[in-house]
Amino acid sequence: MSTLELTVQRVRHSLKMRLLRVVRAQRISPQLLRVTLGGPDLSDFVSASFDDHVKVFFPAPGEDRPALPVLGPHGPVFPEGQPRSPARDYTPRRYDASAHELDLEFVLHGDGPASTWAAQAAPGQYLGVGGPRGSFVIPKGFDWHLLIGDETALPAIGRRLEELGAETKAVVVSEVTDPAAELAFRSAARLKVHWLHRNGAAEGSLLEPALRSLTLPHGEGYVWAAGESAAMRAVRQHLVAERHIDKTRIRAASYWKRGAVAVHEALDD
Q: What is the pLDDT of residues 159-195, one digit of tens each?
A: 999 999 999 999 999 999 999 999 999 999 999 999 9
* Contact indicator for 215, 146 with CB cutoff of 8 Å: no
First to last CA, the chain: 28
Mean pLDDT over 122-135 rounds to 97
Q: Is the pLDDT of residue 99 over 80?
A: yes
Q: Give long-range contacts, CB 8 A cutoff, 24+ apart: 1-8.
A: 1/141, 1/142, 1/143, 1/220, 5/139, 5/141, 6/139, 6/141, 6/142, 6/220, 6/222, 7/139, 8/136, 8/137, 8/138, 8/139, 8/248, 8/251
Q: Is the pLDDT of residue 1 over 60?
A: no
Q: 24: how many CB neighbours lie within 10 A of its CB?
A: 14
C-alpha to C-alpha distance for 171 and 20, rounded to whole angstroms: 35
Nearest one of 95, 118, 106 to 39, comparing CA atoms:
95
Mean pLDDT over 89-109 rounds to 96
pLDDT at res. 193 = 98
Q: What percent of the chain has pLDDT over 90?
A: 82
Mean pLDDT over 142-148 rounds to 98
Question: Model confidence at 263, in pLDDT bands (50, 70, 90)?
Answer: confident
- CA 226 to chain CA mean position, Å: 8
C-alpha to C-alpha distance for 54 and 138, rounded to whole angstroms: 18
> Model confidence over 194-246: pLDDT tens digits?
999 998 776 679 999 999 999 999 999 999 999 999 999 999 999 999 999 99
* Contact indicator for 174, 161 with CB cutoff of 8 Å: no
Distances (CA, A) of 227 to 152, 154, 224, 253, 264: 6, 10, 11, 7, 9
> Model confidence over 34-86: pLDDT tens digits?
999 999 999 999 999 999 999 999 998 888 999 999 888 877 888 787 778 89
DSSP E strands in the chain: the ranges are 9-12, 17-29, 32-38, 54-57, 70-72, 75-77, 87-90, 94-96, 101-107, 126-130, 134-137, 144-149, 169-176, 190-197, 221-228, 250-256, 265-267
